[in-house]
């Protein structure tokens, strides 16, 4: 069962539904990207795959593990702007200006396929390949827009959406829809969800546990009542979308 996100007349709620669009690639699509020019790389936990500002050469298909995308802030901190797991492409943010707009760091031991972008750009005779890349880039644009809207919700709506989205993405790769292990820290989650403080993230997890929506054991998550968790998101997305968000 997947989280129901009903239609709504409100523009904000309509665009927030895009947060749940599929992001990954099918097994057949992943095979289609392989060629002699593609090489696989292993990235150990906490190692950086590419740095913000580096020249653009490759896009990376995650084979296993999880990557965190982040931006450097003026105060020396970072702002997390994405998480990428098996079947998903990262590095497309560099297409526009020829340099990576963010850094990608492994949250656990990760394997990627490094695909030369020139190989994709020159695939003029391969309409399937062109269509695939166009779809993936379009999904990234939609994801960024819906992510920006998500940060306007109150804490409960944001965290509910994040957990539902993550469980669907993992389920698409054959994992459980209701039980999974968080590779990212709560601080990373708060940063990704629009700058929520660690205290707010922890408090919201506690609220969900008290309401019997989740069981939480360190980073292990068990979604007990998916329908109720979906209703939390829907309530905030469609009724409270423009209230001042909690930090």
Among the listed residues 90, 114, 120, 112, the one whose alpha carbon sits nearest the alpha carbon of residue 103: 90
Which range among 8-22, 33-47, 138-152, 199-213 shows the weakest confidence by mean pLDDT?
8-22
Q: How far apart are CA 182 and CA 218, in angstroms?
A: 9
Terminal Cα-to-Cα distance of the chain (whole angstroms):
32
Question: Residue 208 — pLDDT band, cuts 50, 70, 90?
Answer: very high
Instruction: Name the 3-class secondary structure at 221.
Output: strand
Question: 18 with 142: CB under 8 angstroms?
Answer: yes
Q: Is the pTM of this model over 0.95?
A: no
Instruction: Name the 3-class secondary structure at 220.
Output: strand
Among the listed residues 198, 176, 184, 174, the one whose alpha carbon sits nearest the alpha carbon of residue 246: 198
Bigger pLDDT: 109 vs 173? 109
List, for residues 219-238, the tens digit of each pLDDT value.
999 999 999 999 999 887 76
């Amino acid at each position: 069962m997947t989280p129901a996100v009903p239609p709504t007349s409100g523009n904000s709620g309509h665009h927030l539904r895009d947060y749940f669009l599929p992001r990954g690639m099918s097994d057949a699509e992943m095979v289609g990207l392989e060629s002699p020019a593609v090489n696989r790389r292993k990235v150990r936990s906490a190692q950086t795959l590419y740095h913000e500002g580096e020249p653009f050469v490759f896009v990376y298909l995650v084979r296993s593990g999880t990557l965190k995308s982040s931006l450097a802030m003026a105060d020396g901190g970072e702002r997390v702007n994405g998480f990428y797991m098996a079947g998903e492409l990262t590095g497309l943010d560099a297409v526009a200006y020829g340099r990576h707009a963010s850094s990608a760091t492994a949250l656990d031991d990760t394997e990627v396929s490094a695909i030369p972008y020139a190989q994709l750009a020159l695939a003029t005779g391969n309409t399937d390949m062109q269509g695939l890349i166009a779809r993936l880039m379009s999904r990234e644009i939609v994801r960024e827009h819906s992510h920006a809207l998500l940060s306007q919700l109150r804490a409960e709506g944001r965290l509910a959406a994040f957990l539902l989205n993550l469980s669907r993405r993992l389920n698409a790769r054959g994992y459980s829809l209701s039980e999974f292990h968080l590779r990212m820290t709560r601080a990373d989650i708060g940063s990704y969800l629009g700058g929520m403080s660690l205290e707010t993230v922890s408090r919201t997890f506690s609220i969900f546990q008290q309401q019997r929506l989740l069981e939480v054991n360190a980073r292990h998550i068990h979604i007990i009542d998916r329908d109720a968790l979906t209703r939390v998101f829907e309530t905030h997305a469609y009724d409270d979308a423009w209230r001042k968000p909690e930090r």
